[in-house]
Amino acid sequence: MELYIYDRNMILQGVIDEISSLIWTRRYWAAGEFKLLVPFTDRHVALLVKNRLIMKRGDTEAAEIRYVNICGNGSGWKGGEIVEQLLTVLSVVSTVCAIVFGYAAFARNKKSDTESEAKSDATVLTEIGYIKGGIDDIKAEQREQRKTNTEFMERLVAVEASAKQAHKRLDTLENHVNGG
C-alpha cells in the first residue's frame, strides 16, 4: 500500500510505501480518524508533519495530520504514530449520500402516497356512483307511487260522487214511498 502525502495546497510532497500498520476508521456523522505506524526514518519524519494531508493510493478520501507521536519499542526501533481526523471531504460525501437517500425515500413514499390516494379516491367515486344510482332508483319509485296515488284519488273522488248521487236517489225514493 502506498500513502501519498500532500501539503495544504494539494501539492504532492512524497510517497510512503513502508507501512507497519494503518487503521482507517470512518464515521458517517462525524469526522473519522486513522492511526499510522511507520518505521522511524528521516524521510518519514520530514513527510509526516502536522497539517499535511494523507491519501491512500486509488482512494478519494483524504485525512489531515493533526497529531504526531514518535516512540520506541525497546529494541532500538522507533516508529511514528500519526493520529488524524478525516477531512471534511468524508463529511461532505456522507452528507450528500444522506441527502440523496433521503430524496430517494421521499420520492418513493410520494409515489406510494399518490397511488394510495388514487385508490382511495377511486373507491370514494365508486361509492358515490352507487349512492347516486340508488337515489335515482328511489326518485323513480317515488314518481310511480305519486302517479298511482293520483289515480287512486281520482277514482275515490268518482266513487264519492257516485255514492252521493245514490244517496240523493234513495232519499227521493224514500220520500216518494212515504207519502210524498
Would you list the domain boundaries of the chain? 3-86
Phi first, then psi, for residue 16 (nearest 5°) are -115, 125
pLDDT the model gives residue 118: 81
pTM of the model: 0.41
Q: Could you count the other beta carbons within 10 Å of the beta carbon of residue 90? A: 20
Which tens digit of pLDDT belongs to each residue from 64-114?
888 787 765 544 444 444 444 444 455 666 777 788 888 888 888 887 778
* Sheet of 12-16, strand order: 12-16, 3-6, 53-56, 62-72, 78-86, 33-39, 21-25
The yes-or-no verdict on residue 19 having pLDDT over 60 is: yes
Residue 8: Cβ-neighbour burial (10 angstroms; 0-12, 13-18, 19+): exposed
Residue from 74, 17, 88 nearest 47 by CA = 17
Q: What are φ and ψ of residue 86, in 5° steps?
A: -65, 150
Residues 95, 24: Cα–Cα separation, whole Å = 19
Q: Band of the pLDDT at 158, cuts 50, 70, 90?
A: very high
49 and 69 Cβ atoms separated by less than 8 Å: no
The CATH T-level fold of domain 3-86 is Elongation Factor Tu (Ef-tu); domain 3 (2.40.30)
Please compute Rg for the chain using Cα positions.
Answer: 50
pLDDT band, very low/low/confident/very high, at 161 (cuts 50, 70, 90): very high
Mean pLDDT of 170-175: 89
More confident position, 169 or 67:
169
CA distance 72 to 79: 6
Please report where in the chains the cell 500532500 appears, as a residue. Answer: 6
Q: What is the DSSP letter of 1?
A: -
Would you say how long the chain is, in residues? 180
